[in-house]
A = this chain, B = another copy of it.
Amino acid sequence: MEMVPSAFTRRRFLAALGIGTVGVAAASACVTLPTNAPAATPHPADHGETGSAGAGAADMDAKHEAKIKAFPAATKGKGGQPMPFRMEGDRKVFEVTCQMADWEVEPGKVVKAMTYNGTMPGPEIRVTEGDKVRVVVKNELPESTAIHWHGLYTDNLADGVPGVTQPPIKPGETYIYEFTAAPVGSHMYHSHHDAATQVTAGLLGAFIVEPKDRSKLPKYDSEYTLILNDGSHGFTLNGKAFPATEPLKMRMGETLLIRYMNEGLMAHPMHLHGMPMEVIAKDGYPLPNPYLCDTQFIAPGDRYDVLVRPVNPGTWAFHCHILNHAESAEGMFGMVTVLVVEPAAGAAAPTLPYVCKLDRETA
């Protein structure tokens, strides 16, 4: 009986804190992700109850462990990076090319994605309220498209709905949108043409409008945009499926802003272990009365801004709580990542005032 954390757990814990040192299994085999339907939940009697119970359990554990050891797995491409712009007079000009791209969702799973500038999600557009914005959209896809600025107050002709506010942007065409950035908040841009397919296939990105007067913002030390998707490419966080999802990192004493956005076809309740989230805004609009929770439901089209202030350091699981979007008998997959909370800057590694005992009294 061990009265202190086992070597296993201590090693994992420390490895997680210095997470770059965790080995990457670039060629690990990948589970086939269910699409648009809950995974079947096998009857519990289906595994482990045959004569080879122990063997079945060990096999399942090995699969689970392999998945976790592969995390965070290296994959090609990273979505949601800042989109550069140039000034033309007093106007910020962004260039968006709609194009097919091979996109590695998880190690070895490369899909045909529809992308903005080659990544899924597309680059993050970030401007300040009142900015004059021009977005030059070139369509290199084999089908028509259009961009809707979800949450923004554009003039009607810039709203991006083919047949209502503009013609579709045909293959090879370029279309230019102009508007003044408002309102402040976490918004999105995505296709509004054959959108059930095009958005879930990758034509989506964050569009964030910052206030001129930053003193109005809540206090936070860092921020993270987390885009949910669940279309033909599987269950993803920022375009990647576990174990290729990105771990979030912060320190004790800091505050992290997470901007949740759902671009999928299903709602996802995101659960953060070990600490509360303070929900401060819905669709970019500050809530008059922020509330605390540990599981925040995010429906398609929703954005929620939450502040995270950790209670304890460690490696905290962070996943969709529709459990078959996150785990199967083959191990964790899809909408899973972790929040790594390091000790406060300059502080010693945390003393661990608890005891987790592993007592292998085999039955």
Alpha-carbon separation in the docked complex, A6 to B198 (Å): 25
> A241-256: contact bitstring with B at CB < 8 Å (1 yes, 0 no)?
0000000000000000
B317 touches A61 (CB 8 A): no
Q: Is A219 an interface residue (CB 8 A)?
A: no
Cα–Cα, bound, A315→B294 (Å):
35
A243 to chain B, nearest CB (A): 11
A348 within 8 Å of B by Cβ?
A: no
* In the assembled complex, A311 has its CB within 8 A of some CB on chain B: yes
The residue on B at minimum CB distance from A155 is B354
Whole-angstrom distance between the alpha carbons of A37 and B357 in the complex?
A: 40
Which interface residue of A36, A201, A295 has the most chain B CB atoms within 10 A?
Answer: A295
Contact status B157-A5, CB under 8 Å = yes
Q: Is the CB of B12 within 8 A of A64?
A: no
- A94 interface residue, CB < 8 Å from B? no
Q: Which A residues have a C-beta under 8 Å from some C-beta of B?
A: 5-6, 8-9, 12-13, 16, 35-45, 47-49, 53-54, 56-58, 60-61, 64-65, 67-69, 100, 112-114, 140-144, 148, 150-159, 161-168, 170-179, 183, 192-202, 231-232, 265-267, 269, 271, 273-276, 282-283, 285, 287-295, 297, 299-302, 311-317, 321-324, 326-329, 338, 352-363
Q: List 17 A-B contacts (CB under 8 A).
A: A9-B157, A9-B165, A9-B166, A41-B265, A64-B162, A64-B163, A68-B164, A153-B275, A155-B353, A156-B314, A159-B273, A164-B315, A171-B363, A172-B362, A173-B362, A297-B302, A300-B322
